[in-house]
Structure 1
Amino acid sequence: MTTPTVLPIETASLGDRSYLVHDGEVAFVVDPQRDIDRVLDLAEQEGVRITHVFETHIHNDYVTGGYQLARRTGADYHVNAQDPVGFERAAISDGDVVEVSPSLRVRAIHTPGHTFTHLSYALEGEHPYVFTGGSLLFGSTGRPDLLGEDHAETLARHQHASAHRLARELPEQAQVMPTHGFGSFCSATQTEGDASTIGQELTQNPVLRQDVEDYVREVLDGLDLFPAYYAHMGPANAKGPEEVSLELPERADKEVLRQRLEAGEWVVDLRHRRAFSAGHVPGTLNIGLDGQFSTWLGWMIPWGTPLTLLGEDPEQVSQAQRELVRIGIDELAGQSTGTPGDWTDAPLATLRQATFADLAQVRHHRPVSVLDVRNPREYAAGHVEGALNIPLGQLARRLAEVPEGEVWVHCAGGYRASVGASVVSASGRTAVAVDDSFDQARPCGLPVVADDA
């Protein structure tokens, strides 16, 4: 029997993986992202035909490419029979077996917890795999609260039972292949490692080592905020997302950019934070492509706000556009490339960058405000005494809470701090971005306190 080839397709900016699995001739795909050209290119490179597409669940963190991939290839599109969707699908339920080919036999396993209708897919045979979506992750599980707090405890109990079912029914050598858990906010906790088996999870995953009460209490107590744009993903996926163009939008010249900024539209500079700090168009925001660009932009922007992108070159804008369509931002108002001198005739603005040592020194000489843009549980675990906490995802709509005067903005490492400082600066305040690890705050002499201290 042919040994299956399992190829992950990483989407690092969202912390997710899709999978192409084939026997040398035919293939199936699990949880494909919106930009299906990556999947089609990989299938062509491998010389295989895609005949089946499987969704583990109606996704909350991205717009699926499964519907369009199935339409493009003629593949059977397997979606849980219990999911209310607005398109034709190959309905699949717990226990159903799909023979993709003689060596690719896939069994559906109902694993509620991340959602009520979540399915995992076991690839049976001499080399077993299980595609666990948002169920069993590496050392963790998918979070149970994305359908609302009212369902969180019930789903957490389901998640515990589902993980134990997988461990009970599958061999210990079965490779665990999750969709979430590589930085995704769909993960209940941070995951570790890059590969695992059922046997390894039995020794390291809390869900398989704790009783249900301890697991439920721990997982619910550990949950933090998740991106606001998640609210739009489920409805889009249940409807059946339309195909999207990745052609660059119309170029915006200096006058158009000026008008858009004056109108309050979002103009986002994609460059690295240090390039932005050295000189940028006043009023623009900095969300660099070197971090979780689409997550933070999607979290902050009022949904439907016109968006223009500024990049060093067309490739940078194209990458950003690809990331945005994955979360359902399909239309851009425009784009421009080059340097800030190509985008405005006005004097450029700068954004001071500093360290925690600089902040400690400054506080000895004059009063400054400290804005911590980390999420609440990060803040509660330890923060600079007196710092105001406004999570980055909420900052744009809570700017009125930011004090006037000089505001030093920090996060855990520098990326979110620069985004937040650019938002504060664009509002007319004086901002300083702390481009430093929070681990340096206490050694630099800053008083760090925890909420439970």
Structure 2
Amino acid sequence: MFFHQRFVPGLAIYSYIVGDEKTKEAAVIDPTRDVNDFLEIASREGLHIRHVLETHVHADFVSGSRELKARLGDGVTIHASGLGGKEWTPPYADHVVKNSEEISLGSIRLKAIHTPGHTLEHLSWALFDESRSSDTPWLIFTGDFVFVGDVGRPDLLGEEARKELAHQLYRSVFETLPILPGFTEIFPGHGAGSLCGKAIGSRSSSTLGYERRFNAALVEKPEKEWIADLMDQMPLSPPYFARMKRVNKEGPPVIGPELPGQRRWSAKEVHERMCENCLIVDVRSKESFAAAHIPDAINIPFGPTLPTWAGWVLPYDRPTLIVLDRPEQMHEVTTHLLRVGFDDIQGYLEGGMDAWEVSGYPLEKSSTLSVHSLNKQLGEVTVLDVRTEKEWNGGHIEGAIHIHGGKLQENFSLVPHEKPVVVICGSGYRASIAASFLKREGYKDVANVLGGMTAWNAAGFSVEKSDGSDNSGCRTSETATTCS
């Protein structure tokens, strides 16, 4: 059997290629939109991709099923679940899958197992290698049903749907999953860093037996108690998740082999707004952005978490123009953005900020601050903590305002203008994003704390902790305002 697991850092996506080594028939499971890797692997191994299998309608990235079929032709069959009803059956599916249906690739069989809970239609695909055993699955692709160390969250479709999905998830875990032997290997749809669960481990695979023993979500207890424990301290889900659901349900546009966004824009064209209504996204480091940037630009530093934060904070109804350090980065930047549905990428600033600066166009700067300087200025500045609720509860600066970085644009009114605003996160990455939005909103004196709370704690400065008992949203106490 041919087997390949592909991992996308940041979004923490696992996709798979499996195939029969004799017939060379292959299937791709849960592909991302950037399909070149799958095509190159298939070509290198002499495989013929005949099937594309979806586990569910994804919320955190754009499915690559249509893209892969468009590149390979009509010899490819897209298989998607019809078990969530018409609303959640993608119209681009060539084969609408029912529970227990099977797909054959030579001696390899893939059997659909309905495992609702994360979504209504969710399937897991059990793999049988008939050269070894025709009646016992060797492994199972669990999608967002079971992860290493966790299970998929049931709350992405709203509170009313959450109640039913949580009930279905409980049944999938404790009624459906036990039919599989403990030695069955599990290969999930996500790894550590994904927001589709709250405690996903960093290992790329596990066995059901190991997870039954050490995965807290697979320990049976009364349903209400189990659901309460599952939902306790569940991280916020980004607003783009709802958009991804709609895109994947309806069918994303096909990109084709040529990536968008490769046009070069001169500094003069950018300054004269030739890219009409373009949002300028600066992907340089937080230090470079602080030193000099184009007025109103948004900073999301280049790296694996760029697509997640783009989905959190950027509007989808604006064309995007990129400022970067090196032109060769543009391919990866574009790929990151396309994975989360930002299709209207117009290009990048030719010559980068050097070209802008020598043209004499206006510049903005953002201040940076060491934790030692911040400690001396407490009381004279507004400290804005943009970390998660869990991070905040674990220790924060007394008197700080807490607003999750992804919620800042909804809560500018909670940040006073009267004092300088000092933004802090774990290391400075998220704080730079938030600071760029504050500058864009009209806050004049904004600083990013270098090293964030990691440096603050390392310096031995005092923190206070919260018990996390109130998760109702924004609230104010004598020492802090918090919004999660």
What is the TM-score with the length of structure 1 in the denominator? 0.92
SS at match of 1:403: coil
Question: In structure 2, what is the equivalent of residue 115 of structure 1?
Answer: 119
The alignment status of 1:238 with 2:252, answered yes or no, reads: no
- Which amino acid counterpart does residue 235 of structure 1 have in structure 2? R
Secondary structure of 2:265's aligned partner: coil
- CA contact under 8 A between 1:31 and 1:66: conserved in structure 2? yes
SS at match of 1:171: coil
Q: Which moved more, 1:17-26 or 1:155-164?
A: 155-164
- State the match for 1:396 in structure 2: 409
Query: Do the aligned partners of 1:206 and 1:215 also contact (CA within 8 Å) in 2?
Result: no
2:80–2:93 contact (8 Å) kept in structure 1: no
Residues 345-377 of structure 1 deviation map (CA, whole Å, 9 limit, x = unaligned) = 2354333333433321222xx600101112334
Q: CA 1:264–1:90 in 2, change beyond 3 Å: closer, same or farther?
A: closer
Aligned to 1:152: 162
Look up the match of 1:413: 427
| 1:89 equivalent in structure 2 | 94
**How many residue pairs were aligned?**
447
Distance 1:446 1:359, change over 3 A: farther
The answer on 1:196 being equivalent to 2:196 is no
- Per-residue CA distance 1:416-438 (angstroms, 9 max, x = gap): 11111222233342121123252
Find the aligned partners of 1:415 and 1:182 in 2 and give their Cα distance.
19
C-alpha separation in 2, matches of 1:241 and 1:137: 26
Match of 2:338 in 1: 325
Residue 449 of structure 1 corresponds to which residue in structure 2? 465
Which deviates more from structure 2 when the two are superposed, residues 436-445 or residues 293-302?
A: 436-445
- The 1-side partners of 2:173 and 2:77 are apart by 27
1:425 equivalent in alignment to 2:426: no
The answer for the alignment partner of 1:173 in structure 2 is 183
Residue 259 of structure 1: how far off its partner (Å): 4.2
Q: Distance in 2 between matches of 1:436 and 1:317?
A: 27
Alignment correspondent of 1:31? 30
8 Å Cα contact 1:409/1:421 also seen in 2: yes
Aligned to 1:367: 380
Distance 1:75 1:262 in 2: 39
Kindly provide the amino acid, as one letter, of the partner of residue 16 in structure 1.
I
Write the distance in 1 (CA, Å) between the matches of 2:430 and 2:68.
34
Which whole-Å CA distance do the structure 1 matches of 2:40 and 2:235 have between them? Answer: 37
- Is the 8 Å Cα contact of residues 33 and 63 (structure 2) preserved in structure 1? yes
Deviation at 1:10? 1.4
Q: Is the contact made by 1:360 and 1:444 (CA closer than 8 Å) also made in structure 2?
A: no
Give the Cα–Cα distance (whole angstroms) in 2 for the partners of residues 165 and 146 of structure 1.
23
Q: Which runs of 5+ in 2 are unaligned?
A: 470-484
| RMSD over equivalenced CA pairs, Å | 2.3
Q: Which amino acid aligns with 2:270?
A: L
Which amino acid is the alignment partner of residue 353 of structure 2?
Answer: P
Structure 2: distance between partners of 1:297 and 1:427: 18
Q: What is the match of residue 338 of structure 1?
A: 351
- The amino acid that maps onto 2:35 is I
Alignment CA distance shift 1:210-1:408 (3 Å) = farther
Q: CA offsets per residue over residues 264-297 of structure 1, 9 Å max, x none? A: 7421111122222333223322101124111111
**Do the aligned partners of residues 422 and 146 (structure 1) sit closer, same or farther apart at CA in structure 2, a change above 3 Å counting?**
same
Q: Which moved more, 1:168-177 or 1:337-346?
A: 337-346
Partner of 1:217: 228
Match of 1:435 in 2: 450
How far 1:111 sits from its partner (Å)?
A: 0.4
Deviations for 1:19-63, whole angstroms, at most 9, x for unmatched residues?
A: 111223121110000111221112112221101111000111111
Measured in 2, the distance between the counterparts of 1:399 and 1:317 equals: 32
After superposition, what is the alpha-carbon deviation per residue over 1:237-271, rounded to whole angstroms, capped at 9, x for unaligned? 12222211414343222233234499874211111
SS in 1 for 2:377: helix
Cα pair distance change 1:194/1:314, threshold 3 Å? same
Task: Supply the distance in 2 between the matched residues of 1:183 and 1:304 (Cα, whole angstroms).
Answer: 27
- Distance in 2 of aligned mates of 1:50 and 1:214: 44
Separation (CA, whole Å) in 1 of partners of 2:171 and 2:226: 11
Does residue 229 of structure 1 match 2:235?
no
Q: Confirm or deny: 8 A CA contact 1:13 1:293 kept in the other structure.
A: yes
CA distance in 2, matches of 1:451, 1:199: 34
Answer yes or no: is the 8 Å Cα contact 2:282–2:301 preserved in 1.
Answer: yes
TM-score by length of 2: 0.86
> 1:234 aligns to what SS in structure 2?
helix
2:349 partner amino acid: S
CA distance in 1, matches of 2:179, 2:356: 60
- 1:343 alignment partner, SS class: helix
Instruction: Specify whether residues 355 and 23 from structure 1 end up closer, same or farther in structure 2 by C-alpha distance, changes over 3 A only.
Output: farther
Alpha-carbon distance between aligned partners in 2 of 1:28 and 1:185, rounded to the nearest angstrom: 26
Distance 1:441 1:16 in 2: 32
Contact 1:163 1:208 in 2 (8 A): yes
1:261 to 1:420, Cα distance in 2 relative to 1, 3 A = farther
Quick check: 1:109–1:121 contact (8 Å CA) kept in 2? yes
Deviation per CA, 1:198-233, whole angstroms, max 9, x where unpaired? Answer: 111111111211413332011122222111111211
- Shifted more, 303-312 versus 433-442: the winner is 433-442
Query: 1:167 deviation in Å?
Result: 4.0
Instruction: State, as a whole percentage, how many aligned pairs show the same letter.
Output: 32
> What is the 5 A alignment of 1:70-149?
70-73=69-72, 74-82=75-83, 83-102=88-107, 104-125=108-129, 126=132, 128-149=138-159
Partner SS for 1:238? helix
